[in-house]
Structure 1
Amino acid sequence: MEDIYDDEKGLRIQITKKCINESEALFFEVTGSIDTHTCSIHLLDNVITQKVQETAVKHVVFDLENLHHINSTGIGFLIKFADDFSKQNQGKIYVVNADDEKQQLFDMLGLWPLFVKVDNGTDIASYIS
């Protein structure tokens, strides 16, 4: 399964379902910016939440390699999504390919307890069982 969500203002999310270690994971490869100027957070929430509900996966992976910018609205979306996902799906959310700037932002805001930080260059399969 692969879907692509393109926002007319430059946000692109490629959605792929993969089987890793006999578990299904939903990958969201984010390109562009997540902020109030480039996307509707409500629309983004609907796209991601709908895909997660349709697939009923226990593992969600956000690939941030091509995410250029995220503001407080985007961070708020991630927090809300993580809270809802952990309650409804009792699964884990992984963050891969976060550059130093985004890792420092997650550190500063104390977000890592909500997400599994996958070290750059590490195979995600070693985290998913």
Structure 2
Amino acid sequence: MNALDYFNARLQATISPMDYLIANKNNPEAYVLIDVSNGPAHVRHTTIKEAIVIPEKELQSRIDEIPKDKEVIVYCWDVWCNTAAKSAKYLLEKGYTVKELTGGIAAWQEMNFPISKTIQEDDTENHCGC
């Protein structure tokens, strides 16, 4: 694969937080944003506002919650996490149109974009989602 093919493929498979915000603002009915983070609840307490939370380990059993008529945008923690890539691969194999949100929740928060809390801060003990 040459450099041009690589970057074309990368751009087809990913979307930046800013590009997602713009695209979603222009056509909100076209997208569904899914937080696929696994792990203990205390590291999953923050999610992108309006995202559906379906941990990657639950995708198979909850796939009926994901609309096939929308472009699915998946994300996890950060650039070093490959959970979103695994989720995207699985959904693509099931016939969905999917992109990975570049940088995950870490990039989103760095840009001060809207977030939500999924659990109470003090409700973090004994909730391993590994």
TM-score by length of 2: 0.33
Bigger Rg over Cα: 2
Structure with bigger helix share is: 2
Give the number of the structure whose residues are more often strand, by fraction: 1
Greater relative contact order (Cα < 8 A, sep 6+): 2
